[in-house]
Amino acid sequence: MKKVRHNRFLYYLIPITVSVIITTIGYFFMNGIPLFGVPKIEDVSYVEISNTRLDTNARKLTEIEDIKKAINLTNFLSYKLGAPEKKEALIKFVFHLKDGSSFVISSNEKTVYSNGKAYSLKANKGTTFIKVTEGIFFFDDLVEKEKAKQVF
């Protein structure tokens, strides 16, 4: 009588696959789901950034380094599943693409809007995104606002 030999490959494949799935779900649960659809640097011709909290005009970024910074800032915007709070966005990025279309990302402290769809931000990622964006692109306006507060 011969022993039936099972495929040893399946004994390794199934636990590895289950481990990868559990790890991926845990990663997204801990860190949030990254914002998909953000354009690549080579597809963007320029970026317009506006800040409604500081009441400033939109800034037009045409330098490659500034476009890279704007795209990298969107990495802060990871979201969680659930119904978002729909409030007015404070920071708005409009990526104008070389093909003539545009991609809009806007955010407040708790919600991110990506091309019109709203998502709830994970933890305090919205606050971090707003503060870093203001520090990089609107620093001079922040300084002026602080000077105005000190005068009064």
In order along its 152 residues, the chain shows pLDDT tens digits of 555 556 788 888 999 999 999 999 999 999 999 999 999 999 999 999 999 988 878 999 999 999 999 999 999 999 999 999 999 999 999 999 999 999 999 999 999 999 889 999 998 999 999 999 999 999 998 888 888 888 76
How many Å apart are CA 81 and CA 90, to the nearest integer?
22
**Of 44, 50, 58, nearest in space to 103 by CA:** 44
Which residue from 102, 109, 52 is spatially nearest to 86, judged by alpha carbons?
A: 109
Smallest CA-to-CA distance from 90 within 124, 50, 47, 57 is with 50
How far is the C-alpha of 40 from the C-alpha of 58, rounded, in Å?
A: 21
Per-residue CA distances from 80 to 29, 38, 44, 113, 123 (Å):
8, 17, 27, 13, 9
